[in-house]
Amino acid sequence: MSESEVRAAVERELPGVRADLERLVRIPGIAFEGFDHSHVERSAEAVAELLRGCGLDVEIVRSGGQPAVIGKRAAPPGAPTVLLYAHHDVQPVGDLTLWESDPFEPVERDGRLYGRGAADDKAGIMAHVAALRVYGDALPVGVVLFIEGEEEYGSDSLERLLAEHRDEIASDVIVIADSTNWDIGVPALTTCLRGIVNCFVEVRTLDHPVHSGVYGGPVPDALTALARLLASLHTEAGDVAVDGLLARGGASVDYPEERFRAEAGVAEGVSLIGTGQITDRLWTKPSLAVLGIDAPATAVAPNALVPAARAKLSVRLAPGDDPKRAYAALCAHLEKHAPWGAQVNVVFEHDGDPCVIDASGPMFDAARSAFRTAWDGTEPVDLGIGGSIPFIATFQEMFPGAAILVTGVEDPHARAHGPNESLHLGEFARVCLAEALLLRNVAEAGVDAVR
């Protein structure tokens, strides 16, 4: 198909693609514990139906976790095979009062489609489906669609699934549609991602609550001790103060502070923390955040010294760091800095490897060419991501010969994981066009260019 034919086909398919995206958004497929997982099953069935409609051989698979969907079509003679990844599960919605509309009833406002999963990552699924629909029976490459069902919950069963289905999903090129573009109007390839270590730290100073007046003064309460311990995790400038965590610099582009503050929603008068250029702080240096604290709620707190308090910590690791070593360094810091001899207990939750992608070669050239065309000549940016997609390192290890293209369906205003998540519909149309062009470009490059 010529470029003009691909463009016309994308325009033809977009209304149906959007309608199917909205149907997916209406399914609250949350894989976290405590939620109704029958919705995850419904979500997997809906994805499977979409892939069957594209003429793929489809199966729903699992390996002790939530259902994933695999769809396949063999390559034409001499053509490469492309694995298209996305995930159909979504984040919990959090505080409903912060949403301007029902998170599971998609609504368009000002050119954006609002709803949980509208961007992360049901738009990724539908970008793949759009590309398949563009070509119909004339698909120029072989495809394997792998649509995961528990990415937001940590991909606990993904490695087992990949091992069990390794031969059937082996591909020459892997497209992971779960990242972001640099800006509205500027496409990007993600070439490095930070790793992650999440854990809980509990501080105990008493074996039971005691009267804050009778015992307050000489006896430390656990909440104050926890506050002092958490304060030790950063320097005065806001850099992470845990010895042993890797930090590096050298990000290829910088993020204008005014734009960054606006996109992040930083409150007026609040300073940014850390040192170095903003993209280094986001992509190539560690960060550490306190995600939550277990302690008495203020409305019901008695006048008693709190005996124990717990916090959840999340560390994002620079590319090249090792999660196991980083966790050991964090534990050592917490034990060393326990105030007043408070008892400290650290409990591991999960981790994930950082990764760096060598984004050179014919398949990356094919992707950049597709992006330039879809964005009317705008040059794509190679960017890092402060967030983590640990399974990319797993794909790198299991399929070392494959070119891994991490592409974006989101933009800086998508608010993935937060209230009022949304998808820019104009950019989504470009994403669909870019993926259709990418498949054509990969086919033209051929298997020999991959290998």
The tokens describing 211, both together, are 């009267």
- What pTM does this model have? 0.88
Quick one: pLDDT at residue 252? 77
136 vs 253, residue with greater confidence: 136
In which band, very low, low, confident or very high, does the pLDDT at 388 lie, cut at 50, 70 and 90?
Answer: confident
pLDDT tens digits, residue range 26-69?
999 999 999 999 999 999 999 999 999 999 999 999 999 999 99
R_g (Cα) of the chain, nearest Å = 24
pLDDT tops 70 at residue 447: no
Q: Quick one: pLDDT at residue 9?
A: 98
The pLDDT of residue 446: 80
Instruction: Map residue 11 onto helix, strand or coil.
Output: helix
CA–CA dist 108, 193 (Å, integer): 31
Predicted confidence at residue 51, as pLDDT, reads: 98
**HSE-up of residue 443 (Cα within 13 Å, Cβ side):** 17
When pLDDT is averaged across residues 352-356 and rounded to a whole number, the result is 91
Predicted confidence (pLDDT) per residue in 362-378, tens digit: 999 999 999 999 999 99
Strands of 223-307, DSSP E: 287-294, 304-305
Written as six digits, the tokens of 300 are 């019901």
With CA atoms as reference, report the closest residue to 435 among 23, 108, 148, 140. Answer: 140
Q: Quick one: what percent of the chain has pLDDT higher than 70?
A: 99
Q: What pLDDT score does 393 carry?
A: 86
Stretch 318-338: mean pLDDT: 97
Q: 259 falls in which pLDDT band (50, 70, 90)?
A: very high
**Interval 7-27: pLDDT, tens:** 999 999 999 999 999 999 999
Distance CA 345, CA 158 (A): 30
For residue 390, name the pLDDT band (cuts at 50, 70, 90).
Answer: confident
Catalytic site residues? Answer: 89, 151
Lowest mean pLDDT among 251-255, 283-287, 306-310, 375-379: 251-255
Residue 90 forms beta bridges with which residues? 30
As a whole number of angstroms, the distance between CA 153 and CA 88 comes to 12
How large is the average pLDDT for residues 265-282?
95
The type of residue at 257 is E
Q: Quote the mean pLDDT of the chain.
A: 95
Question: What pLDDT is recorded for position 451?
Answer: 53
Q: Burial of 412 by CB count in 10 Å (0-12 exposed, 13-18 middle, 19+ buried)?
A: middle
Task: Give the rounded percent of residues in the chain with a pLDDT score beyond 90.
Answer: 92
Q: Which of 8, 198, 141, 108 is nearest to 420 (CA)?
A: 108
pLDDT exceeds 70 at position 337: yes
Residue 230 predicted with pLDDT over 80: yes
Determine the average pLDDT of the residues in 148-160: 92
The mean per-residue pLDDT over the stretch 328-343 comes to: 98
